[in-house]
Chain A
Amino acid sequence: MVLTIFYPANEAEWYAKGTAEGGTYFEVPAVFNPDGTCDTAATDAKVQQLILVLSMKS
């Protein structure tokens, strides 16, 4: 899957933003480490969950 994610530099930036396959733009509230840096693994998991939810067609 083609996925581009831009992680927030700090908590003030709030969202991770990017594009998924097909050009879908997304904004996901990022997960932060205790030191204020972005927890990229946990944030990735939220992005993957969003993509899963949106991919399930009725």
Chain B
Amino acid sequence: MTGVTCVLVGGGTPNYLGSVTVTVDTFSVPNLTRYGSEPPSYGSITPATWADSGLTISGLYYGIITVTSPTVYAVVMRITGYAPNAGWSTLTIAGNAYSRVDASYSYDGTYSSWVWSTTSTNPFGTTIGATKAVVWS
């Protein structure tokens, strides 16, 4: 008797859909102010892992950069490790929706980052200690 047994181990596309809670803090140096969190530097993100991808969320923040004119405002999502620019459609921060296809994406060998250039809407607000829901859908 002959037979073939096929066993699949692992594989598949990681799930990037889920939610976290950001406890808002601020970081400021000359020409740069941020609101949100970049653990462990400031604020916190719970849980720390992005959905069931196994990747750590290293930053969710709104940044104001005044080193250039005009001032640059940006919403930033940063993940430790490689994640493709795919697998989710919308990032919603406290009810403010950001479409993935509108983001600039980068991977520098350490971090995967998505950056939305925005105007003046700070989705995290400026209240230190406030908690904000962040959802990937």
User: What is A's interface to B at a CB cutoff of 8 Å?
Assistant: 14, 20, 22-29, 46-47, 49-50, 52-54, 56, 58
Contacts and interface: CB of A to CB of B under 8 A. Distances in A.
A24 B38 contact: no
Given A24-B109, A26-B105, A49-B117, 16 more contacts: A23-B108, A24-B107, A24-B108, A25-B107, A27-B104, A29-B102, A46-B104, A46-B117, A50-B115, A52-B68, A53-B63, A53-B76, A53-B115, A56-B31, A56-B32, A56-B65
A26 B106 contact: yes
A54 B112 CA distance: 11
Interface of B: 27, 29, 31-32, 34, 38, 41-42, 63, 65, 67-68, 72, 74, 76, 85, 101-109, 113, 115, 117
Contacts, number: 62
A14 B102 CA distance: 10
17 contacts: A20-B106, A22-B108, A22-B109, A23-B108, A24-B109, A25-B106, A27-B105, A28-B105, A29-B102, A29-B103, A46-B104, A49-B74, A52-B67, A52-B68, A53-B65, A54-B106, A54-B113
Nearest to A29: B102
Nearest to A22: B108
Contacts of B41: 58
